[in-house]
Amino acid sequence: MIVILGPTASGKTQLATQLAFHINGEIISADSRQVYRGMTIGTGKDLGEYTVEGEPIPYHLIDILDAGEKYNVSRFQQDVAEAIIQIESRTHVPILCGGTGLYIQAVLNNHQYTSVPVDEAVRAELEVHSHEVLVQLLNENPSEYSTLADTSTRKRTIRAIEIARYLRDNPLFQLPEAKPLEYTIFGLNPPVELRRKRITRRLLERLKNGLVEEVKGLLEQGISAEQLIYYGLEYKFVTGYLQGFYAYDEMVSKLETEIHRFAKRQMTYFRKMERDGLPIHWLDNSHRPDQWLHTILSTLNQPGFSHE
């Protein structure tokens, strides 16, 4: 499998579809929100890019659930495994493309701990604590999972505690067998100023193309404001605007700031992936997309090239 990752507005989808066109590939979306139908503009599905020179590029894990349904890392791992089987049965190449680092790492590392069930009671108990207190609670009760735990956000730290407690209280629980996966990772990391310009331009385009109307339509379909806010970024702030919590210009300003912060967090996570032993071949920022494609094709064709 080939992996193409990068922060938002880095050009991942365009590069992945061009690559798929040249190597008989199929795209597997690694985006935690693109799985939802009706959430198109806000998640940046860019479905128009899945046609190259008149040829449709097959894609997976886009528009597979109704907005409001729950989706998680464990389900994503299962869905990717099924997609890979389908793609390889056609002798095509799976290309995992996206910016949700946690999901990508779970697939590449065959994270077994995602099979630990959710405990809503534990989550409700922990929800009242600050991020700092949660990290302290996790550290006070070390387990076999401690070194793997992601504590970058409150939500992920709560999940880490949930897993640690479950393993402690269920010593006979059997983790699923980890199966080796061959992969090559290529990364895009535009200069910060260029990334910021692209994010701003893309946000304005999405607003012009009906982002507010998309969120309003989801609310009218019966998706609760709480559910939309849970999806974060565009859906959180546009919902706030529609509820009267923000003026339009204030909403746009806050949303732009948060997307910039989100892109920075994405890069932080990708660096963590590297520290955790996942090699990322970063593509040269000074090159054009066609040169990136040439670099990838040349790298993959090198004699003796190692995927991992």
Does residue 304 register a pLDDT over 70?
no
Does residue 9 register a pLDDT over 60?
yes
The whole-number pLDDT of residue 148 equals: 72
140-182 confidence digits (pLDDT tens): 888 777 777 878 788 889 988 998 898 888 888 887 766 668 8
How is residue 4 written in tokens? 């193409």
How is residue 17 written in tokens? 């579809």
Q: Residue 133 — φ and ψ, nearest 5°?
A: -65, -40
Q: In the chain, what's the furthest Cα-to-Cα distance?
A: 60
The contacts of residue 222 (CB under 8 Å, 6+ apart) are 68
The whole-number pLDDT of residue 107 equals: 92
Instruction: Calculate what percentage of the chain has a pLDDT beyond 90.
Output: 73
46-104 confidence digits (pLDDT tens): 899 999 999 999 999 999 999 988 888 888 988 998 999 999 999 999 999 999 999 99
Please tell me the distance from the alpha carbon of residue 195 to that of residue 172, in angstroms, as a whole number: 48
The whole-number pLDDT of residue 179 equals: 66
The whole-number pLDDT of residue 307 equals: 44
The whole-number pLDDT of residue 175 equals: 75
Give this prediction's pTM: 0.80
Compute the mean pLDDT over every residue in the chain, rounded to the nearest whole number: 91
Mean pLDDT of 172-198: 87
Structure confidence at residue 297 as a pLDDT band (50, 70, 90): very high
The contacts of residue 80 (CB under 8 Å, 6+ apart) are 28, 61, 96, 107
- Of 5-19, 51-65, 110-124, 290-304, the range with the lowest mean pLDDT is 110-124
* Domains recognised in the chain with CATH numbers: 2-112+178-300 (3.40.50.300), 114-169 (no CATH)
The closest of 255, 48, 273, 253 to 152, measured between CA atoms, is 273
Kindly report the number of other CB atoms within 10 A of residue 205's CB atom. Answer: 11
